[in-house]
Amino acid sequence: MRTNTAVLVGFFCCAAALLGSAVIAEDAYRYFTWTVTYGTAYPLGVPQQVILINGQFPGPSLDCVTNDNIILDVINLLDEPFLLTWNGIKQRKNSWQDGVLGTNCPIPPKSNYTYKFQAKDQIGTFTYFPSTALHRAAGGFGALYVRQRSVIPVPYDLPTGEMSLLIGDWYKAGHKSLRQTLDSGKTLPFPDGLLINGMPQFTTFTGDQGKTFLFRISNVGLSLSFNFRIQGHKMKLVEIEGSHTIQSLYDSLDIHVGQSYSVLVTLDQPPKDYYIIATSRFTKTVLTATATLHYSNSNSPVSGPIPAAPALNYHWSMLQARTFRWNLTANAARPNPQGSYRYGNITRSRSLYFASSAPLINNKQRFAVNGVSFDLPNTPLKLADYFNIPGVFTWDGIPTVPNNGPVILGTPVIRANLHEFIEIIFQNTENTMQSWHLDGYDFWVVGYGSGQWIPKKRKSYNLVDAVARHTVQVYPNGWSAILVSLDNQGMWNVRSAMWGRQYLGQQLYIRVWTSEKSFANEYDIPRNALFCGKAIGHHS
């Protein structure tokens, strides 16, 4: 199990030594072996079965440097097939390693698979989690950090140390029970609690007065947004999902499912202990998880009421989201500024307008996009495409604008050409928060709004310094618009980051392709590729 203490001071001495050895030769190789098992933990005070990686819940942090080659052997000792996906890692030219059921066969029980991928041209805070069978509700998730190469400075002074905060909603019911709930045609119940690093009242983080620390905060939950704050302290936002931001100060931050933020916190208050708080947002029943920020010279425990979150206000949250801006002068993972690619001057080749819905099909709850609820086949779409296996999916089997026709089950793949520049509008037709993720890319979040999106809303887009990220929230009965350059060939998942919705059909795939066969565009099928469904009998 994860230890109950985390000491800040001195972390970076060790990290710097590791980084120093890693950057002597570029594109180093890092080898990992992860064994996935069941174990018993007490996240909410009662014993329950959780998924451990190398005996840890949450799983170990995967720490690497930009362009490192990751060789990670996953040994599955569960009683079910298992996959990990690398949330926010672009998998350049390599959707073979994306770790979702549209691109990979799951690892059979008592078997293994070795992922081979590169954290190419990225710096930032990401996560990994299981993508199969609602395993995410049992654990198996962890932090994934891509640090800068020695030749790339980050736009802030090196902090004294750093914190990892994996925060999300949690159920006392096991993942198999929750899966039965979804399979029976019901939605997931309201969660039982919030966890910070696997506990509702987490450890004490210790630091020296006057020093500055980096807090990496990720929402690893299934369904709920949360508000994050530190009693008596301002947070300087410096990075969102691989993008360095304009460094503004915040009292609290709304963080939605699947998203990651990095903030700098200076211990500039009187020496005592302070609450670190996460509370669920936009819920009638408010769930709370806390940790403690402990000044090393403190003799006073935490005291006073837990500071309140902002009022239950979607408009406040949307206004905050609009304040997040790309730092156009900060270096990206390559030695050129983030703003050197002027996305606002690119002519879009087409627009995709995706509207969510929550229909009943055969009296069972499903979720859909533009009238199609995704029906997951037992053959990965990537393999079916590669081997020309018919009957697995339907090309362009989904309208690219919302329609009011009957909702159907389908397995749609939208065809797109390599290097297209497209607009995607996510329309939320329901009175609940939503969150959307695109594998293989980051994208510019150019607009949020209420009501129905119409073309004249483009006049409000931020075409200069919108943050590039991989997961975008969509407010109730509202819309969010993104621009994305389809420069990464492969089969890529567009999905709800809220896992019950994804499980019941709120997802689809986009195949980005060119007829030019070249390893400069896409790597070949891995020699160790797993085969399942109709792909059995084919050979790499």
pLDDT digits (tens, 9 = 90+) for 492-502: 999 999 999 99
What is the predicted pLDDT for the residue at 26?
60
115 vs 71: CA distance, rounded Å: 6
Q: Is residue 453 part of a domain?
A: yes
Task: Please work out, in degrees rounded to the nearest 5, the angle formed at the alpha carbon of residue 504 by the alpha carbons of 502 and 506.
Answer: 45
List Cβ neighbours of 354 (8 Å cut-off, separation of 6 or more).
369, 370, 402, 424, 425, 426, 427, 494
109 vs 95: CA distance, rounded Å: 23
Q: Final residue of a domain: which of 323, 356, 386?
A: 323
Whether residues 357 and 319 share a domain: the answer is no
Place of tokens 């004294």: 160
Whether residues 142 and 166 share a domain: the answer is no
Q: Is residue 15 part of a domain?
A: no
Q: Is residue 2 part of a domain?
A: no
**DSSP 3-state of 43:** coil
Q: Final residue of a domain: which of 123, 147, 171?
A: 147
pTM of the prediction? 0.95
Closest to 445 (Cα-Cα) out of 457, 461, 458: 461
- Cα torsion angle, 279, 315, 480, 340, sign: negative
Q: Are strands 243-244 and 252-255 parallel, antiparallel or unpaired?
A: unpaired
pLDDT tens for the chain, 540 residues long, are 444 444 443 343 344 434 443 344 568 999 999 999 999 999 999 999 999 999 999 999 999 999 999 999 999 999 999 999 999 999 999 999 999 999 999 999 999 999 999 999 999 999 999 999 999 999 999 999 999 998 899 999 999 999 999 999 999 999 999 999 999 999 999 999 999 999 998 778 999 999 999 999 999 999 999 999 999 999 999 999 999 999 999 999 999 999 999 999 999 999 999 999 999 999 999 999 999 999 999 999 999 899 999 987 999 999 999 999 999 999 999 888 999 999 999 999 999 999 999 999 999 999 999 999 999 999 999 999 999 999 999 999 999 999 888 999 999 999 999 999 999 999 999 999 999 999 999 999 999 999 999 999 999 999 999 999 999 999 999 999 999 999 999 999 999 999 999 999 999 999 999 999 999 999 999 999 999 999 999 976
Whether residues 348 and 294 share a domain: the answer is no
Whether residues 241 and 203 share a domain: the answer is yes
**CATH number of the domain where residue 443 is located:** 2.60.40.420
Place of tokens 């050979």: 539
Whether residues 319 and 381 share a domain: the answer is no
- Residue 393's domain comprises 343-535
Q: How many domains are there within the chain?
A: 3
Q: Is residue 5 part of a domain?
A: no
Q: Is residue 38 part of a domain?
A: yes
Whether residues 358 and 466 share a domain: the answer is yes
Composition of the chain by helix, strand, coil, percent to 5: 10, 40, 50
pLDDT tens digits along 115-139: 999 999 999 999 999 999 999 999 9
Count CB neighbours of 24 within 10 A.
8
**DSSP 3-state of 53:** strand
Omega before residue 58 within 30° of 0, cis: yes
Whether residues 183 and 296 share a domain: the answer is yes
Whether residues 397 and 456 share a domain: the answer is yes
Closest to 433 (Cα-Cα) out of 372, 481, 498, 373: 498
Whether residues 176 and 269 share a domain: the answer is yes
457: DSSP letter:
G
Whether residues 492 and 392 share a domain: the answer is yes
Q: Is residue 480 part of a domain?
A: yes
Residue 272, token pair as written in the block: 């005592």
pLDDT tens digits along 410-425: 999 999 999 999 999 9
Q: Final residue of a domain: which of 122, 147, 172?
A: 147
Q: Is residue 23 part of a domain?
A: no
Whether residues 166 and 298 share a domain: the answer is yes
Whether residues 272 and 372 share a domain: the answer is no
Q: Is residue 334 part of a domain?
A: no
